[in-house]
Structure 1
Amino acid sequence: MPAYAIARLRPAAPHPDIAEYIERIPATFEPFGGRFLVHATQHEVKEGTWSEDLVVIGFPGIDQARQWWDSPAYREIAPLRSRHIEGDIVLVEGVPDGYDPTATADTLRKALAATD
């Protein structure tokens, strides 16, 4: 099942460390099957507000995403970003092919019925 590293990053002033981080990050996730799915692209806000940048890196599975995050190569360059850009980063599993959200709705309906 695919997994994703998702970052919601607040705007930051340009800095040489950030440029170096951007140049070096692909080499850290490629050994784990990672690839950019969203990076430095424009977005269109449909509800609420969103002034941050969004980065999504796809991985074959959650184990590979965790191995990348914990890898010496990524830990070495992470401060280049974190010293200059604040944000929120999560690792999350995707859903399997053929995912049907009705099972989640059924679980919710059962929980609601139990509270009546």
Structure 2
Amino acid sequence: MTAYAIAHLRRPETVHPEVFEYMERIQATLDPYSGRFVVHGGTVDVREGSWPGDVVMIRFPDMGRARAWYDSPAYQEILPKRADHLVGDVILVEGVGPDHDPARKAAAMRTALGMDG
């Protein structure tokens, strides 16, 4: 099942030069794990709540490769170049398959919570 690395990064007043180095080097850390950018700081159209910052989303073939990339020595080597200079949140999350049915998921959740009637 496809997995994603998603980052919500806050915009700094000034960008530290190490952030540019991180950006220049990240793709080489993704390539061995088939990671590809899906979103990289595009325009955010906030419809509910607030979203101060940028979105980055990277697609992986599966959660195993997403975790292996994040934990890899190559990524861990460059990670401080971003993390030391940008405030943000980063998650790894599994996607859904082509047969995903939100109504079926709601029914399963109701049953699990004892709320099915």
TMscore range, shorter length: over 0.9
* Counterpart for residue 48 of structure 1: 49
Unaligned runs of at least 5 residues, structure 1: none
Percent identity over paired residues? 49
Matches within 5 A, 1:1-116: 1-12=1-12, 13-110=14-111, 111-113=113-115
TM norm structure 2: 0.92
Alpha-carbon displacement from aligned partner over 1:11-41 (angstroms, at most 9, x marks no partner): 1221110000001001101110100000021
Unaligned runs of at least 5 residues, structure 2: none
Aligned counterparts of 1:90 and 1:105: Cα–Cα separation in 2: 23
- Secondary structure of the residue aligned to 1:47 is coil
Aligned counterparts of 2:114 and 2:102: Cα–Cα separation in 1: 17
Deviates more, 1:63-72 or 1:10-19: 10-19
**Residue identity matched to 1:11:** R
Aligned counterparts of 2:82 and 2:108: Cα–Cα separation in 1: 40
Aligned counterparts of 1:34 and 1:22: Cα–Cα separation in 2: 14
Aligned counterparts of 1:109 and 1:23: Cα–Cα separation in 2: 46
Aligned counterparts of 1:113 and 1:27: Cα–Cα separation in 2: 48
Tell me how far 1:77 sits from its aligned partner: 0.1
- Please give the root-mean-square deviation of Cα atoms over the aligned residues, in Å: 1.4
Alpha-carbon displacement from aligned partner over 1:38-86 (angstroms, at most 9, x marks no partner): 0021110111111121100000000000000000100000000011001
Deviates more, 1:96-105 or 1:54-63: 96-105
TM norm structure 1: 0.93
Aligned counterparts of 1:67 and 1:92: Cα–Cα separation in 2: 13
Q: Which runs of 4+ in 1 moved over 4 A?
A: none
Tell me how far 1:112 sits from its aligned partner: 4.8
Tell me how far 1:5 sits from its aligned partner: 0.3
